Amino acid sequence: INKDFIVIPKSVTPARIDGNANWELKLNDKQMAQLDSAPQKRLTDFPFRPGGKFFFFSEENNLKTITKKLNDGTEMPILGLGTWQSKPKEVEEAVYHAICKTGIRHIDAAQIYGNQDEVGTGVNRALKDTGLKREELWVTSKVWMVDFAPEDVGPAIDRILKELQLDYVDQVLLHWPSCFDKPPKDSSPGKYPEKWAGTEDPMFPKDKDGNLLHRDVPLSETWSAMCAEKKAGKIRSIGVSNFSKAEIEEMTKGGLEMPAVNQVEAHVFWNQAKLRKEMEELGVAVVAYSPLGNSGFHGEKSGISSDLVAEVSKESSLTPAQVMLNYLINKGFIVIPKSVTPARIDGNANWELKLTEEQMAKLDAAPQKRLTDFPFRPGGKFFFDESEK
Indicate which residues carry an active-site annotation: 113
H or E segment and range at residue 306: none
Measured distance between the N- and C-terminal CA atoms of the chain, rounded to whole angstroms:
62
Euclidean distance between CA atoms 105 and 78, whole angstroms: 9
Listed residue (343, 265, 344, 347) closest to 298, CA to CA: 265
Whether the Cβ atoms of residue 337 and residue 348 lie closer than 8 Å to each other:
yes
Q: Which residues contact 48 (CB under 8 A, 6 or more apart)?
A: 54, 55
Helices 150-164 and 116-130, axial angle in degrees (round to 10): 50
Euclidean distance between CA atoms 79 and 352, whole angstroms: 12
Q: Which pairing describes strands 75-77 and 67-69: parallel, antiparallel, or unpaired? A: antiparallel
Whether the Cβ atoms of residue 239 and residue 263 lie closer than 8 Å to each other:
yes
* 237 beta partners: 171
Helices 88-97 and 342-349, axial angle in degrees (round to 10): 40
Quickly count: other Cβ atoms within 10 Å of residue 321's Cβ.
Answer: 21
* 75 beta partners: 69
* 139 beta partners: 107
Torsion from C-alpha of 253, 372, 347, 61, nearest 10 degrees: -30
Euclidean distance between CA atoms 364 and 155, whole angstroms: 43
Q: Tell me the C-alpha to C-alpha distance, in Å, between residue 231 and each of 225, 290, 322.
A: 10, 31, 38
H or E segment and range at residue 283: none
